[in-house]
Amino acid sequence: KTVRLRGQISQGICFPLSILPDGFDIQEGADCTEALGITKYEPPIPACLNGIAKGGIPSFIPKTDETRVQVLQETLDRYQGERCYVTEKLDGSSVTFYVHDKNFGVCTRNLELVEDSENTIWRIARELDIENKLRATGINMAIQGEVIGEGIQKNPLKLRGQTVRFFNVFDMDRRVYLSFDPLMEAMRKLNLETVPV
Dihedral over alpha carbons 70, 72, 74, 79 (to 10 degrees): -120
Instruction: Quote the CA–CA distance of 112 and 52 in Å, as a whole number.
Output: 9
Q: For residue 187, what pLDDT is reported?
A: 96
Structural domains of the chain in order of their starting residue, each with its CATH number: 47-190 (3.30.470.30)
Provide the pLDDT for residue 188. 97
- Percent share of the chain, pLDDT over 90: 50
Residue 1 has pLDDT above 70, yes or no: no
Contacts from 104-109 at CB under 8 Å and sequence distance 24+?
A: 104/131, 104/134, 104/135, 105/54, 105/58, 107/57, 107/58, 107/61, 108/49, 108/51, 108/57, 109/57, 109/63, 109/64
CB 148 within 8 A of CB 88: no
- Higher pLDDT: 91 or 70? It is 91
Q: pTM value? A: 0.72
* Cβ contacts of 190 within 8 Å, gap of 6 or more: 130, 133, 134, 137, 143
Per-residue pLDDT tens digits for 115-157: 998 899 999 999 999 999 999 999 999 999 999 998 888 888 8
Whether residue 99 is predicted with pLDDT greater than 70 in this model: the reply is yes
Kindly state the percentage of the chain with pLDDT values over 70.
Answer: 95
- pLDDT band, residue 84 (cuts 50/70/90): confident
- Average pLDDT of the residues in 88-92: 88
Which residue blocks in the chain are alpha helix, DSSP H?
A: 73-78, 120-127, 130-137, 180-190
Q: Which pLDDT band, with edges at 50, 70 and 90, does 47 fall under? A: very low
> In this model, does residue 50 exceed pLDDT 90?
no
How does pLDDT run across 24-39, given as a tens digit for each residue?
888 888 888 889 988 8
Confidence of residue 71 (pLDDT cuts 50, 70, 90): confident
At 131 the pLDDT is 98
CA distances, 79 to each of 65, 191, 196 (Å): 21, 32, 22
Mean pLDDT over residues 66-77, rounded?
Answer: 81
Cβ–Cβ under 8 Å, residues 173 and 139: yes
Among the listed residues 113, 120, 127, 137, the one whose alpha carbon sits nearest the alpha carbon of residue 187: 137
Stretch 146-174: mean pLDDT, rounded? 91
